[in-house]
Amino acid sequence: MQKRKLGSSDLEVSALGLGCMGMSYGYGPAADRQEMISLIGSAVERGVTFFDTAEAYGPFTNEELVGEALATFRGQVVIATKFGFDIDAFPGLNSRPERIKQVAEASLNRLKVDAIDLFYQHRVDPNVPIEDVAGAVKELIQEGKVKHFGLSEAGAQTIRRAHAIQPVTAVQSEYSLWWRQPEEAVLPTLEELGIGFVPFSPLGKGFLTGKINEDTKFDSTDFRNIVPRFTPEARKANQALVDLLRRVAERKKATPAQIALAWLLARKAWIVPIPGTTKLSRLEENIGAVAIELTSEDLREIDSAASKITVQGARYPEDLAKLTGR
């Protein structure tokens, strides 16, 4: 497994991380705990050193799972977690400094670690100046309880303001061939400031794998049921993007998912995608993307073809969309 540094920081991680949310929450019923502990162990064995969780996933159960699964790999892995949601009034927000410190203590406990490797603000809280948030994390870093500060789904100006108080190591946002908005302002800002970028949902919440079509039925508890981009009509229209990936994949003797990930890895050397899965076969497929070399000609072809495809449907329902890009 290749390694990458997140921006100009000293935080080195595997070129591909593992998003753990779906093991506990979001995409239907929680998976079997022992199977997920085994899967996380398999990821470590295959060179994955970067794991992503949050107190909000479950809530709490995903951090507990990750903490237990990685207990025997202390010092070999990097665990990122997040603060900022009001768990009692989800999806309300709470990034008041005293709350950040409470979350840090609770997360340290659940993750069974002495310090949180990377602590993201999950969503920007409009009621708390970002300078106060960055200041609170700075204090946690000075106390040795946190090593690196991150932001999730923040806008470019917020990133700049936070970075001026406490250097931001990484920004996490959705980014893939079917959601490219970060290219407009966020990615140029990160490049300028030397901040790493961690795309979540790099496979479009599963859509870019080619395993979902207009007839696919999701579990009643699956978050995708309320996502406009996943209506049957949108899925039918958006197959054009999967068809593009499939054409390139056939030529490269790869899968659509591998091409989608390889495309992200080829964008910048400081981009580290974190695809999630609950299946060993998918984990291995995703890891295989790291070895796929897309030439500048391949990338031009993909960009040219993708520019002619208009992706249908918003990526979040309106109430959740308001929480992003602040």
Catalytic residues: 57
> Which of 250, 257, 259 is closest to 281 using CA atoms?
257
Contact of 18 with 40, CB cutoff 8 Å: yes
> Which of 208, 285, 215 is closest to 240 using CA atoms?
208
> Which of 13, 3, 257, 248 is closest to 117 using CA atoms?
13
Helix, strand, coil percentages (3-state) for the chain, rounded to 5, are: 45, 15, 40
CA distances from 183 to 14, 177, 289 (A): 23, 11, 22
CA distances from 273 to 55, 101, 176, 232, 284 (A): 20, 28, 9, 27, 15
Which residue do the tokens 């203590």 mark? 105
Determine the Cα–Cα distance for residues 126 and 47; give it in Å rounded to an integer: 38
DSSP string across 270-302: TB----B-S-HHHHHHHHHGGG----HHHHHHH
Determine the Cα–Cα distance for residues 266 and 152; give it in Å rounded to an integer: 22
Local structure of 93: helix, strand or coil: strand
Q: Which two tokens stand for residue 210?
A: 């080619």
Determine the Cα–Cα distance for residues 222 and 26; give it in Å rounded to an integer: 6
Determine the Cα–Cα distance for residues 63 and 192; give it in Å rounded to an integer: 33
How would you label 12-27 residue by residue, b for 16+ Cβ within 10 Å and e otherwise?
ebbbbbbbbbbbbbbb
